[in-house]
A and B are shown apart, each in its own frame.
Chain A
Amino acid sequence: MPRSGFVALIPVAPGRLEELERVLLSWGNDVLLEDEGGLKPDAFVDFRDQQFIHFMRFALLKVDNEQRLLITADFDLEIHDFLEFLRRKTTCPDAIWGLCVGWRKEIDFSLWFLNFVVVPEATYIAFPGVTLQRVNQAVALFKFRDEVLSGRFSPRRQGITEAARILVRVDCLFRAAFFIRNAAKSAYRTIGLLFSRKLDLSRQEMRLLWEGGRRVASSLNRVWWIRAFNILSRNPAPVAVPIWSSARPPFHRLTSFAGYPAEDSVFQNQLTLLTSFPAAEEARLRGVLRSIDLYARGLAFPGSLLGIATIHTVRWTILPDCHGVPGRIWLLMTSNYDGSWDSYISEFCARIFSGLDAIWGCAEGAPPAGARDIPAFKEFLRTRQIPAAVFYSAYKGGSVSFTRMALTLRPVNRLIAGLVG
């Protein structure tokens, strides 16, 4: 089964926003703890009942006075099959789709829905091609290995525990095999991308792609091959001149995002960010995003985007058909990540600030000093963040780094499981 996902923006019928919001909020949310309204089992998609949705979210956006329902999903199906699943599962379609523009019972749901699916400019998936079932199996095997090693599993069969302990000592071999396999895959994918038709770019687009890539790379000297690239292409790191933080009164309350009091107590978190840009920046922005996309599809290693190992998925989408204010474009970022918002943003700001600046440097309201000015940048993001009305995560107990470890050691853990029989 292939792994895919989508970003859909469905216009909400005029005057029906509040009703829709009420319906969505009644399903609960995985960013909340159970006693505060965690995702309910009787939500309109019964998430317990399936083995193929990684993440899903519903949020309500306001873009240039137009209300839209944002739906993003990551799943192990063809999009048509997923939409068919969604249609079947919707017990009362009128209660949700009926509040959106253009929905009628008679029309084909998939065809209607596909009208609103937008193609992201850049996509990163931590484990592309790995199904949820495989992840769950790897995690279960890893937990089983812990059981065996602790001797709790079969106290009478000490021999097995001892054998497992010997196998664990050669973990490094399996890590090396994982590395080599993925390095080969990356190289293969990159070569494939370079010669594919997707890269049939005009001169202008090539130039923008090159410039975007250079900007993103300039603060990434810690990665050896990017350092080599920076030296060869004379791409120096941005000079850190002391600057004043542009965080200025009135300060926003940044403590925790409205509605998410327990934002740090959940395993997975989500970020929906809607930022606006002058339309003149569109070509440049597309160049930057395409360079990120190219990296994510080609060179990126499983579970690590430029060394940041907390992201499950991230998508950047330039919203089409937003003509409310001429001369302005909207960039939507949707991401699913591990742990606390604070750490997530701090990590980004500290480690790939040139990348963040390449994307948001000329966004409306971005701090003049860019992402290096962490307080101001966090304020910029928080004030543009959109709460998810519904958020579902299948990775209840697994961070990206844990999942990567479980997948890396899956072969050895299978051997251990085989020993036990």
Chain B
Amino acid sequence: MKDLLSAEDTNDIQSWIYSGYPHLPKSTYAFLRIDDQIRARQFLKGIPWQISSATKSRNRQAQSHQVLNVAFTAMGLLALGIDDETVEKFPIEFQEGMNAPHRGAFLGDISPGGKPDHTVRDYAASAVHLLFACHFISASVRDSWISKFQRDSSAGGLSLVGLELGELADSGKEHFGFKDGISNPEIHGFKGAGSATGEFILGYPNEQGCMPVSPLLSPESDPHDLLPPAMCDNRNMRDLGRNGTYLVFRKLAQDVSAFWNFIADDCRRRLGRAEPADLVWLASKLVGRWPNGVSLVEAPHFDAYSEIMQERLKAGSLNDFTYGQTDTSGHRCPFAAHVARMNPRDRIQGLSESEALGTTARHRLLRRGRRYGPELFDLKILDTPESWNRLQQLFQSRPEAQDTTRSDRGLFFIAFCANIREQFEFVQRAWGNNPHFNSAKGSQDPLIGTNSSITPGRSGIPIPDRDGGITTGLVPQAVSFRGGGYFFLPSIAAFRWICHGK
């Protein structure tokens, strides 16, 4: 059940699943619509050799200056002429897409009554057929690729619906100033340890010993013998999903002023002052980590030069902790903090530590997010107490025009999972937006929760301590959903099959 992947399989898996490309800081996400099926097929037939595989990514010498990955929406598969019967074999959430009205309500993107709480303006769901995601070593390489790609794709019967530019900051921080993308599961098939391969790659057993839903085709559907046979008791079928996965893409805009102003206001409301240390303390309590990424569980007090912080930062082992033994009551990292909701590890109310770990393992996401837009302030100032004063100057008064640039900034939430419903949607709904998860006392996730009018009676974030603790004021909607979709990231063999058709 938990074997390493064969060389053949790693060669077939798109490299994005293997690596987030930390050495390629620039990225672009091109959303395309297929206008001409025949020309598009011809164009796409030339793509598979450009797609990087996990083997290439593993072999560091072969790392190039740019890496291409391609994913499809369900509409895209139909637009390429894949028959309804095959597309209907995909899970319903993928078929419907993220922007279907009831699914939007389910995820909290739209209020239950259908009143849109966010402007899903960036992409209409039906218009996006393909996602070309390319990562680059520098902006110049990116620019030249984009101009060439625009020419080629329009000649290939594709029109560009949207083009997004992402980047990975040197500091690894998102726009609020916190280190991002720390907690990422390892895949057993690659590393020999970590989550079951089937949690993130189709065609393998997951933590439950069950194969994720994957479209199985009859051998007649694959005359060129491109697809691998299905495993276990379905060996006579061909597995279109094997070595592929589902990709969740969400563009989340971040209102940095709103977030830090809320922090400053809340400190002032409770303490009558907004000392820099209080600001960082409160913001870190909401996130669950200090700005440099060290967990509140390991370092309950910020001391940039303390042994544990230095050790964690040096070793890069920011993720090696559990709540259970040290923080059962949430006095260090609150239950309602963002990281404790998204990955509760061994601390879920009503479960023992080992049971909670088992539950968490079934709802993990492999994240490949990048941020976009310029920084509002130098985020590195958050890492050393000496420069915190700067933060106080930035947010001590409340001029709305602090963000003079009015730039759009935020992050692209990109995650892989073998079961969108049990992984992404579950985490978003049952953990993130659920006002009653783990002593949340009516609050929602302080960062990605739908902190809007959807849930009446919702409350601020409870921050417990030995003396009862505090509850913050209502958190503003500092992160808002701007658009996104569910994609199928096929294996390279499946990509060839899709281009060839039946």
A350 near B102 with CB under 8 A, answer: no
Encode contact with B along A220-234: 1 for CB under 8 Å, 0 otherwise: 001000000000000
Q: Does A30 contact B (CB under 8 A)?
A: no
From A245, A251, A252, contact of B212 by CB (8 A):
A245
Residues of chain A within 8 A (CB-CB) of B112 are 33, 36, 261-262
From B211, B230, B436, contact of A338 by CB (8 A):
B436
- Within 135-172 of A, Cβ neighbours of B (below 8 Å) are at 146, 149-151, 165
A262 CA to B211 CA in the complex, in Å? Answer: 31
B355 near A351 with CB under 8 A, answer: yes
B211 near A310 with CB under 8 A, answer: no
B422 near A340 with CB under 8 A, answer: no
Residues of chain A within 8 A (CB-CB) of B209 are 240-243, 372
A242 near B211 with CB under 8 A, answer: yes
Residues of chain A within 8 A (CB-CB) of B216 are 244
Distance in Å from the Cβ of A393 to the closest Cβ of chain B? 13
A334 CA to B106 CA in the complex, in Å? Answer: 24
- Within 408-445 of B, Cβ neighbours of A (below 8 Å) are at 419, 421-422, 425-426, 429-430, 433-437
Q: At the interface with chain A, which of B168-176, B346-354, B382-390?
A: B346-354
B210 near A369 with CB under 8 A, answer: yes
From B88, B210, B352, contact of A373 by CB (8 A):
B210
Count residues of chain A with CB under 8 A from any CB of chain B: 53
B467 near A150 with CB under 8 A, answer: yes
A264 CA to B210 CA in the complex, in Å? Answer: 26
Distance in Å from the Cβ of A304 to the closest Cβ of chain B? 8
Residues of chain B within 8 A (CB-CB) of A374 are 208, 210, 422
From B93, B232, B354, contact of A222 by CB (8 A):
B354
A33 CA to B112 CA in the complex, in Å? Answer: 10
A265 near B435 with CB under 8 A, answer: yes
B234 near A244 with CB under 8 A, answer: yes
B211 near A255 with CB under 8 A, answer: no
Distance in Å from the Cβ of A154 to the closest Cβ of chain B? 14
B468 near A150 with CB under 8 A, answer: yes
Residues of chain A within 8 A (CB-CB) of B362 are 346, 350
B210 near A243 with CB under 8 A, answer: yes
Residue of A nearest to B112 (CB): A261
Q: Does B155 contact A (CB under 8 A)?
A: no
Q: Does B272 contact A (CB under 8 A)?
A: no
A401 near B352 with CB under 8 A, answer: no
Residue of A nearest to B358 (CB): A350
Residue of B nearest to A373 (CB): B210
Residue of A nearest to B354 (CB): A222
Q: Does B291 contact A (CB under 8 A)?
A: no
A250 near B88 with CB under 8 A, answer: yes
Residues of chain A within 8 A (CB-CB) of B231 are 242
Q: Does B105 contact A (CB under 8 A)?
A: yes
Q: Does B45 contact A (CB under 8 A)?
A: no
Encode contact with A along B200-215: 1 for CB under 8 Å, 0 otherwise: 0000010011111100
B232 near A242 with CB under 8 A, answer: yes
A42 CA to B433 CA in the complex, in Å? Answer: 31
Q: Contacts A36-B112, A262-B112, A340-B430; is A256 near B106 (CB within 8 Å)? A: yes
Q: Does A281 contact B (CB under 8 A)?
A: no
Residues of chain B within 8 A (CB-CB) of A310 are 350
A220 CA to B266 CA in the complex, in Å? Answer: 47
From B89, B92, B436, B454, contact of A254 by CB (8 A):
B92
Distance in Å from the Cβ of A406 to the closest Cβ of chain B? 13
From B211, B425, B433, B467, contact of A245 by CB (8 A):
B211
Distance in Å from the Cβ of B157 to the closest Cβ of chain A? 29
B208 near A350 with CB under 8 A, answer: yes
B456 near A255 with CB under 8 A, answer: no
Q: Does B233 contact A (CB under 8 A)?
A: yes
A250 CA to B92 CA in the complex, in Å? Answer: 8
B430 near A307 with CB under 8 A, answer: no
Residues of chain A within 8 A (CB-CB) of B354 are 222
Residues of chain B within 8 A (CB-CB) of A243 are 209-211, 232-233
Residues of chain A within 8 A (CB-CB) of B113 are 35-36, 261
Encode contact with A along B230-256: 1 for CB under 8 Å, 0 otherwise: 111110000000000000000000000
A374 CA to B209 CA in the complex, in Å? Answer: 11
Q: Does B91 contact A (CB under 8 A)?
A: yes
From B92, B422, B456, B468, contact of A34 by CB (8 A):
B456
Residues of chain A within 8 A (CB-CB) of B426 are 342-343, 346
A33 CA to B213 CA in the complex, in Å? Answer: 34
Distance in Å from the Cβ of B263 to the closest Cβ of chain A? 21
A372 near B102 with CB under 8 A, answer: no
Q: Does A399 contact B (CB under 8 A)?
A: yes
From A149, A251, A265, A351, contact of B91 by CB (8 A):
A251
Residue of A nearest to B349 (CB): A401
Q: Does A206 contact B (CB under 8 A)?
A: no
Q: Does B455 contact A (CB under 8 A)?
A: yes
Residues of chain B within 8 A (CB-CB) of A267 are 436
Q: Which residues does A use to contact B, with CB under 8 Å?
A: 33-36, 146, 149-151, 165, 222, 240-245, 247-256, 261-262, 264-265, 267, 307-310, 338-340, 342-343, 346-347, 349-351, 369, 372-375, 399-401
Given contacts A339-B436, A375-B419, 11 further A-B contacts (CB under 8 A): A33-B455, A242-B231, A251-B88, A255-B102, A255-B106, A261-B105, A264-B430, A264-B434, A339-B437, A374-B210, A375-B91
Q: List 7 A-B contacts (CB under 8 A).
A: A34-B456, A242-B210, A253-B92, A264-B434, A350-B358, A350-B362, A372-B210
Q: What 3 A-B pairs come out closest when comparing CB atoms?
A: A261-B112, A309-B350, A240-B209
